[in-house]
Structure formats: C-alpha cells, structure tokens
Amino acid sequence: KCHGWLILQYDKFRQPYIQCSNYALITDHAHLLLHNLQEFDINYLHALLDNDHATFLRIEQSAKGLGLRPLAPCTFACSPCEQKQVCHKYTLLQHYCYGY
C-alpha cells in the first residue's frame, strides 16, 4: 500500500500531469503517473489536490449555477494499463444522474 500523495505538476511544455509523491522515473514505475489532462478543469484539480476548500467549492457552486450537478459517487478502480474509457456502470449512472 502506497502512502504517497497526489501532486499536480507541469512538464517542460507547461502541460499538467499528476504523479504520486513516491514516483521516481528511474527507480520506481509502480506509482501513479497521469498525463493527458487536457480535458480536465486544471484549476479544479489543483484546488482538490491542494485541499483548497474555498476554491473547489466556488467552482462547484459555479457549475451548479450552470445546471450541472454532482454525479453519483464512484468507487470503481482499475489499473491505469486497463485504459478504461467509460465506467462499467455508465448506463446505470446515466439513468441515476440524469433521470433518463
């Protein structure tokens, strides 16, 4: 079990990525490293990972004002190498979250 924490960083091209605090490029590939965050709200991720309650609550309230609401909590987890595009409960969540 890893006791590291998630860190939002930027590469030499100013592209954001998230990595485990215990990740080391040369010695350890077992810790989380996520690239390709272009479709995520980086300000929101930054606030969540920094535990900045005021900022992420402001962003959530703004989204709520646009008619967006929180989705059902998800407890599904998989290995990054599985490359899941959609949650295995997607159709159920669509019905639950959007009232289809």
The pLDDT tens digits for 38-62 are: 888 899 889 988 999 999 899 888 8
pLDDT at 6 over 70: yes
CA distance 93 to 73: 10
Residue 7 lies in a domain: no
The pLDDT tens digits for 71-90 are: 666 676 766 666 566 666 55
User: What is Dmax (Cα atoms) for the chain?
Assistant: 48
Domain extent at residue 87: 70-100
CA distance 8 to 16: 7
pLDDT at position 99 is 42
Q: Does the predicted TM-score (pTM) go above 0.75?
A: no
Residue 1 lies in a domain: no
Residue 82 gets which letter from DSSP?
G
Residue 47 lies in a domain: no
Q: How many domains does the chain have?
A: 1
- Measure the CA dihedral 63/68/74/78, to 10°: -80
